[in-house]
Chains A and B, each alone.
Chain A
């Protein structure tokens, strides 16, 4: 049981490049989400999904796309990277239910130059 797996762990991009951050979970969780963590800003929600085929925007969705074609995977796409997207990105998953805690991956540290 690997939990939530994020790849890659580190990535450096040039401005304008695109890439996909991968997230996979093996706990059969319906809910998945992407957060970014910046110093002094806490965690801010980018996008989330309550099930396969369903996605919604969070607090800071601009510049990011997501899709949820399977229960297990929830990739985050950066369409045209900008220095403001330099951050640590966390994927999290959880069961349905208001009181269900989230399970987090170990993060992807992204630098855009």
Chain B
């Protein structure tokens, strides 16, 4: 069965600094990986997904994610954080079977001005 871990409950970063939100996964076979963001009192919004063969994936709002097969990781990154990036971020994974998407527990990102 697939699983995903987000080892940090909270990440604090100063505005303008680079940010990283970590995600590691476990699947049998090829992984299908996603990042979502949740703002207060809203549903989750899709940010980006892994595309086979691309180790660096670009997504919405200047976010990107780095895929590392040997470390089974898919970390979310942004070169320069904005206060408006403060939100809850979820990593999710499924395998190639007809299986549903499994989410991590989420990481709260706080960008301080």
In the assembled complex, the CB of A51 is this many whole angstroms from the nearest CB of chain B, namely 11
Chain B residues whose CB sits within 8 angstroms of the CB of A48 once the complex forms: 100
How many chain B residues touch A (CB < 8 A): the figure is 24
B96 at interface, CB cutoff 8 A: yes
**Chain B interface mostly helix, strand, loop or mixed?**
loop
B72 to chain A, nearest CB (A): 17
- Cα A58 to Cα B45 in complex, Å, equals 21
A42 touches B104 (CB 8 A): yes
Query: A45–B100 contact, CB under 8 A?
Result: yes
Known A48-B100, A98-B32; contact A40-B105, beta-carbon cutoff 8 A:
yes
Let me know if B90 and A43 touch, CB within 8 A: yes
A106 touches B106 (CB 8 A): no
Q: Does A105 contact B (CB under 8 A)?
A: yes
9 A-B pairs with CB atoms under 8 Å apart are A33-B100, A40-B9, A42-B105, A50-B98, A90-B43, A92-B44, A98-B95, A102-B36, A107-B42
Nearest 8 A/B pairs, CB to CB: A104-B43, A42-B105, A101-B46, A43-B103, A104-B44, A98-B32, A106-B43, A48-B100
